Structure 1
Amino acid sequence: MGNKMLADNTTVSTESSSRKHKKLTQPPTTSKLIEQNVLPAKKSLIITYILWLVGGMFGLHHLYLHRDRQAFVWWCSLGGYFFGCIYDIWLIPGYVRDANEDPRFVKQFVAKLQLHPTPPYSGARLTGEVMIGYLFGQLFLSAIPQTITAGIDFTWLHWCIPVFVSLGVWTVGNIGRECGVWWHCLLGALVIYPVRYLIYDETYTLLLTAVVSALIFDSKSKQWLRTPPRRRGTMERSVQIGGAVCIYLGLFSCMIFFNGTITDEYGSEVPIREALQNFLASAWWTDLKQALSDTLNYAKHNGWSQVWREILESMDVHGERNAYKVLDISATASQAEITAAYRRLSKEHHPDKAKDEAQRAAANQRFIEIQQAYSVLSKIKSNRRRKNRQFTEEEPIVL
């Protein structure tokens, strides 16, 4: 009995050890492989400068270096109000070393970590936080309808302005190897924003909100990003950047639609929303819609090639209609009638018959138009005769 129990225990321990060995030796799963910190693909300094030259104002070089936040900020502010794009000329080599995790960059970064427990003060970064926070807040403020729209008063949305100010501050604060939490920025913006009831100018209110939010972020939240940034896939990056761009453009569109105005010929301002409504109710737009509908129906029955052919004819790209008008003849005129009209008008408007310089200049212009019209019609008639002759020669003989 004892020997049997001993054998069972030996079997259990053997199976347990084999399972452990199998667990240790089996390859890691795909998700674990993805999470491993593999070195990124090397970025080229030359390509980065080329992209800066081509689309630096829109952050194209930052997209190439996977600095997506800075690329979005550059796109929103046109290269950091142009000055940031110019300053990048000297910073790009460091950006490339950071993206490649170059040993020199890593050594310098470790030295910074040892020298400064938290990132030191940077006037450029603080200024950027304030400016982008102000930009986002101003954009949202401008997008809020100033009048009651669809029976709804949207003035309560002013309390969402600190959210966008803090998002701007937080976005700039998390560029590169520095990071921080968003709620510190939001708390600072919410605390100071009620000053709008004391300062009636929204410009100063927004500026003060952005400054306080940036100062709180720098003093309470800013820290080093000690681990390398996570390498996101193309799809994830596209979704994030595309979503941010859509939100920004959506707010910009709301600003134009709800609060934009145009000046009419009398000097008075007309809201773009009202102008658009009047345009959609105008006879010109109604006729255009009807014309588009008729064109679509015609294309369904005759094909788009026929539609394109008729469009070219209506545009008179060869100048045939205008030539008939210049020679004052009908569109069914023969070549003999065209020649006769040309000779008659050439004699009538010949520059030599003009008495003074002014009349001679006008007669010369008219004479040139007559010659051009005759040349256009003669060329068209000749081409048509040649095509008709070829078509006749190619017809089969029916016996």
Structure 2
Amino acid sequence: MANIVVAYILWLTGGWLGLHHFYLGRDKQAFVWWATWGGCLGLGWFRDLWRLPEYVYEANNDERYLNELRYRLVVFPRPPFNVARFTGELVVGYLFGILLRLVIPEEYTTEGVGWVLAVILPPYGVAVGVHLVANIGRQKSTMSSPLIGALLGLPWILYRTDNIMPGVLIAAIFVNKFGVQWEAERRNGGHICKRALVLTFCGMIYISMWTSGIYLNCSVTNEHGETIPLREAIPNFFKSPAWENMKETMKRLYEYYKLYGWEKLRQQIVEAMDPTGEANAYKVLGLNDTACQKEVTKRYRELAKEWHPDKVKDPDMKMLAQEKFIEIQKAYDTLSQIQSRRKSTESESRQKSVHNDHTEF
């Protein structure tokens, strides 16, 4: 038997994670609350404040709730339209659809297999999201109706691969018009361990997809205004001096924070991550970060001559020399590109400054 006091305590302490819904056996709603930060950024959590008693009556198969349910089954052959549920279908459908779109990097969506996946995958995500919300509580729906509705949104996706909202709207309309029906008998999700395992598995998939989307599509900006994709910045970070000396770096960043505050610290963290691979490149060439292009070129030639595979006679050292030579080449290319880019930026800034001075004169 569910206890209303316990339900409200869980609502207050873990409601944004859907703990009260899990306690009441409403696992789908618990997952939606967790995945949407409290049911659409806390709106659903707040609405539960006055909805919880009804949920407790349902969980306990209270006679008053069952009598009301029987009355609904007689008066409404199909579940009536509900604004809150329809809104939830739109939000979750869009969230799941755009999530499947984000797992494909933007540069791969212009042609070929990447473009096909960017067109096909989002409607399936939309259908799953709409279907999930439509099956909360004492109603159920088929998967076919939201999927057909989502696929009808393909013309908009063909025009622009991230334009999935028309498909979401059609899917939500279809599931309410053709897909839902009453479920008189309350579904039993099984033992609590099984339910928790299923929710954990779904949560891990959801988190992994968001992680992939962020990794493949986000970027960081360093103090020179250069934008580096995370999928390049993160591997460079694991080769950076900051990673190798993490303990010392964390101590230094903490001291820096105490002196200069968060905004300056944020910039320091970006620099410490070495997103461009600049610090690692200097380390490979054995130079400090004040070296000019002439010094970089000179050092590169010395090391390239020393580690050229053709110069190594020992067969056991051939592979090592080849790897080292490639690393030296990559470090030289990285520094050359960075210095060339910054030189170009500085030249443009000087030209703008001269132009502004002439204009003022």
TM-score (norm 2): 0.64
8 Å Cα contact 2:153-2:164 kept in structure 1: no
Report the counterpart of residue 155 of structure 2 in structure 1. 194
Which residue is equivalent to 2:342?
none
Residue in 2 that maps onto 1:77:
36
> Which residue in 2 is equivalent to 1:144?
104
The C-alpha deviation readout for 1:331-357, integer Å capped at 9, x for no partner, is: xxxxxxxxxxxxxxxxxxxxxxxxxxx
Is 1:215 paired with 2:173? yes
Aligned counterparts of 2:161 and 2:152: Cα–Cα separation in 1: 18
Matches within 5 A, 1:167-182: 167-182=128-143
Cα RMSD between the aligned structures?
2.0
- Report deviation, 1:230: 2.1
Deviation at 1:281, TM superposition (A): 2.1
1:226-248 CA-partner distances (Å, limit 9, x unpaired): 11212411232123211210111
Which amino acid letter does the alignment assign opposite residue 115 of structure 1?
V
Corresponding residue of 2:208: 250
Helix, strand or coil at the partner of 1:75: helix
Cα contact 2:21–2:29 (8 A) shared by 1: yes
* Distance in 2 between residues matched to 1:174 and 1:110, nearest whole Å: 19
Query: For residues 13-67 of structure 1, what are the alpha-carbon distances to aligned partners after superposition, in whole Å with 9 as ceiling and x for unaligned?
Result: xxxxxxxxxxxxxxxxxxxxxxxxxxxxx00101111111001111111011010
Q: Work out which of the residue numbers 91, 96, 102 in structure 2 matches 1:131.
A: 91
Cα distance in 2 for residues equivalent to 1:192 and 1:255: 22
**Letter of the aligned partner of 1:242 in structure 2?**
T
Match of 2:53 in 1: 93
Is the Cα contact below 8 Å between 1:180 and 1:221 reproduced in 2? Answer: yes
- Structure 1 counterpart of 2:16: 57
**CA shift for structure 1 position 154:** 2.8
Change in CA separation of 1:75 and 1:221 when aligned onto 2, cut-off 3 Å: same
Q: What secondary structure, in the 3-state scheme, does the structure 2 residue paired with 1:78 have?
A: coil
SS of 2:228's equivalent in the other structure is strand
Distance in 2, matches of 1:279 and 1:62, equals 41
SS at match of 2:225: coil
Q: CA deviation at 1:249?
A: 0.4
Is the deviation greater in 85-94 or in 154-163? 154-163
The TM-score normalised by the length of structure 1 is 0.58
Q: Is the 8 A contact 1:147 1:153 kept in 2?
A: no
Which residue in the other structure is 2:258 paired with?
Answer: none
8 Å CA contact retained: 2:102, 2:217 = yes
Partner secondary structure for residue 223 of structure 2: coil
Which of 257, 260, 265 is residue 223 of structure 2 equivalent to?
A: 265
Larger Rg computed on CA atoms: 1
Offset of residue 288 of structure 1:
6.1
Map Cα deviations across residues 81-123 of structure 1 (whole Å, 9 max, x no partner). Answer: 2111111111000000000000100010001001111101111
Distance 1:115 1:194 in 2: 39
Corresponding letter in the other structure for 2:26: R
Give yes or no for contact 2:189–2:195 (8 Å, CA) kept in 1.
no
Which ranges in structure 1 are unaligned for 5 or more consecutive residues? 1-41, 292-399
Query: Retained in 2: the 8 A contact 1:263–1:269?
Result: yes
Counterparts of 1:282 and 1:231 in 2: how far apart (Å)?
48
Name the count of aligned residue pairs. 244
Cα distance in structure 1, aligned partners of 2:244 and 2:161? 44
Which secondary structure state, in structure 1, belongs to the residue aligned with residue 171 of structure 2? helix
Q: CA deviation at 1:277?
A: 1.4
Instruction: State the distance in 1 between where 2:165 and 2:107 align.
Output: 24
CA distance in 2 between counterparts of 1:61 and 1:118 reads: 28
Structure 1 runs of 4+ with >3 Å offset: 283-289
Report 1:1-399 matches (<5 A): 42-81=1-40, 82-148=42-108, 154-158=114-118, 159-198=120-159, 200=160, 202=162, 205-286=163-244
User: What is the deviation of 1:73?
Assistant: 0.3
- Structure 2 unaligned spans of 5+: 249-361
Q: Distance in 1 between matches of 2:232 and 2:107?
A: 13
Alpha-carbon separation, structure 2, partners of 1:174 and 1:145: 32
Distance 1:282 1:144, change over 3 A: same
